[in-house]
Amino acid sequence: MAQVGRSLTSDLDGESMSAQTAGPETLGHLSDEPPQQQPQDNKKAKAITGKSPMRIAMGRLARDKIAMVCAAVVVLFVLIAVFAGAICSFFNVSTDTVLPSQYLDTLGGGLPLPEYGPPNGGFTIDHPFGIAPQSATDNLAFWVYGARTSLEISFTATLFASFFGILMGLIAGFVGGVVDKSISFLIDLFLTIPFLLAGLVIAPIINQNFNASDNYPRIQFWALIVVLAGFGWMGVARLIRGEVLSLREREFVQAARVIGMPTRRILVKELLPNLAAPIVVSISLMLPTFVAAEAGFAYLGIGVTSGISWGQTINKATPFFESYPLYLWEPVIGIVALVLALNLLGDAIRDALDPKTRR
């Protein structure tokens, strides 16, 4: 349920933001700040006149230390995910299944024998993160590939959700009338179905139809993306619709209409650039939601059950929290670090784009 709550809050954030900010005027007037806010920076303020609003925002973001640290963490995770194979072969570890009895203490709770690393022995170079109890697979390889699964799913789902959300929002807001009513109804309808529930319902259906297929893990992967994206686009759509409603009565849109621009062109060339800020913000907040949701699904035994996922490792590790805490901490730290970094980065981006919330 946490994911749903999160998406609702980000939704609300968006609404409130659209009330305060938005619009080209606001962004355009960034440089004309009230002098009492930065009286000592008059020179600087002068220097940045003439930059585009986006560049001003980026510059502000670059000066935000927390944002930069978070960006570095996110980039690091992205690199880990992209080069998962190389990292594993560098450390000479793999996600292959092994026959566990030779590595584990059979009567000692299925924990690794001391020579294979923690908790009973020291760290070894063969398995830098140790090996898993019960199955004796390598923790580092599972962690690295878990990061890949997590990012792959959250990035793809975000891409689809934001694309669809933006499209629906633009159409609803601009066309209005019956189209707006029906899209708004669709949004409300989808908002009533929590995606946790959708995931629980779809998992057995996918299983029933495709379990004999060789591509089953891949099908499961895409099904999860469809669930996440299919039940995550509504927030963006609402936000964009609200923005468009306020923008479409502006002079420049009216002018474009008068000179006979086709609707598609008005949407893409006139409206979309002015929506950059809310879109960037909502995407940056959608990512961590999906990372957490993917792990949550895997923990519940739905989602990516045939692949590798942090959530699954957490599920297997919870009984060992006392005897082998490291096994649980590894994926937990991965998720916490990634979600926290993405969230803080998202907040920083919003702050940077929105002059009124500047600290």
Partner 1 sequence: MKEKGWTMRRTKPLAVVAGAALFALAACGGSGSDSANPESNRTYTGAAEVGKDPERQAPAADVEGATAGGTITVYLPGDPGPDSMDPTDGWSVTGNSIQQALTSRSLTQYAKDPKTGEMVLVPDLATDLGSHNDDFTEWTFTIRDDAKWEDGSPVTADEIAWGIQRSMDSDTFPAGPGTEYSQTYFSGAGEYKGPYTDKGKKWDGVSVDGQDVTIKMAKPFPDMDYWGAFMAMGPAPLGKASTPPDYGKHIMSNGPYKVESFRPQEELVLVKNDQWDPNSDPGRHQYADKFIFKFNQDQAKVDQIMLSDNTESQTALSNALGSNNYDRANTELGDRLIQQSAQCTSFLAPDYTKITDINVRKAIAYAYPYQDMWLATGEVPGVTRVPANSIMPPGMAGKHDYFVDGEQFTYNPEKSKELLKDAGYEPGEFKITMIYYEPDPLAVAGQKVLVKGMEEAGFTVKGIPVQDSPYNIWLNPDDKLNKTLNLRGVNWCSDWPSGLTMLPPLVRTGAAYNTAQFSEKSIDDKMAEIPTMPLDEQADAWGAVDEEIGTKYFPIIPTAFRNDLYVFGSKIGNPTGDGQIGAPDYKDLYVMQ
Residue 320 binds to partner 1 (criterion: CB under 8 A) = yes
Which of the stretches 47-55, 133-141, 142-150, 329-337 binds partner 1 when contact is defined by CB under 8 A? 133-141
What tokens does 151 get?
């990012």
The tokens for 4 are 């749903």
Specify the 3-state DSSP secondary structure of 259: coil
Chain residues 6-25 in contact with partner 1, contact rule CB under 8 A: none
Nearest CA to 227 among 200, 187, 193, 198?
198
Which residue in the set 83, 155, 160, 216 belongs to the binding site for partner 1 (CB under 8 A)? Answer: 216
* 94 interacts with partner 1 by CB under 8 A: no
The answer to whether 318 contacts partner 1 (rule: CB under 8 A) is yes
Distances in Å between the alpha carbon of 224 and those of 144, 192, 242? Answer: 20, 19, 29
Closest CB to partner 1 among 92 and 101?
101
Q: Which stretch binds partner 1 (CB under 8 A): 156-164, 191-199, 205-213, 232-240?
A: 205-213
Residue 70 or 304: the one with the smaller Cβ distance to partner 1 is 304
| Cα dist from 220 to 28, 29, 202, 266, 301, whole Å | 46, 48, 10, 39, 12
Tell me the closest approach of the beta carbon of residue 97 to partner 1, in angstroms. 4
Q: Which helix (DSSP H) or strand (DSSP E) does residue 105 occupy?
A: strand 104-105
| Encoded tokens for 51 | 């930059």
Give the shortest CB-203-to-partner 1 separation in angstroms. 7
For partner 1, the binding residues in 256-315 under the rule CB under 8 A are 300-302, 305-306, 312, 315
Contact string (CB under 8 A) for partner 1, positions 147-186, x = contact: ----------------------------------------
Phi-psi region of 23 (alpha: psi -120 to 50; beta: other; left: phi over 0): left
- In this complex, which beta carbon is closest to partner 1, that of residue 38 or of residue 211? 211
Q: Whose CA is closest to 11, among 277, 243, 274, 282?
A: 282
Q: Indicate the residue among 154 and 220 with the shorter CB distance to partner 1.
A: 220
Q: Which of 70, 153, 203, 281 binds partner 1 (CB under 8 A)?
A: 203
Tokens read off for 94: 């793999």
Q: How far is the C-alpha of 201 from the C-alpha of 54, rounded, in Å?
A: 42
Pairing mode, if any, of strands 111-112 and 104-105?
Answer: antiparallel
In angstroms, what is the minimal distance from the CB of 131 to partner 1?
12
Stretch that binds partner 1, among 19-27, 60-68, 132-140, 255-263 (CB under 8 A): 132-140
Q: Is 110 in the site for partner 1 (CB under 8 A)?
A: yes
Does 100 bind partner 1 (CB under 8 A)? Our answer is: yes
Q: Residues 24, 114, 119, 319: which binds partner 1 (CB under 8 A)?
A: 319
- Least Å distance, CB 128 to partner 1, is 22
Total residues at interface with partner 1 (CB under 8 A): 37
Binding residue for partner 1, selected from 36, 40, 192, 208, defined by CB under 8 A: 208
For residue 144, give the nearest of 224, 221, 87 by alpha carbon.
87
Contact indicator for 10, 286 with CB cutoff of 8 Å = yes
Nearer of residues 107 and 259 to partner 1, judged by Cβ:
107
- Amino acid identity at 176: G
Q: Any contact of residue 101 with partner 1 (CB under 8 A)?
A: yes
Rounded Cα gap, residues 12 and 301, in angstroms: 31
Binding partner 1 by CB under 8 A: which of 53, 130, 133, 346?
133
What are the residue ranges of helices labelled H in 176-303?
177-192, 195-210, 216-230, 234-247, 251-258, 263-265, 272-274, 276-299
Instruction: Write out the residues near partner 1 by the rule CB under 8 A.
Output: 96-101, 104-111, 133-136, 203-204, 207-208, 211-212, 216, 300-302, 305-306, 312, 315-316, 318-320, 323
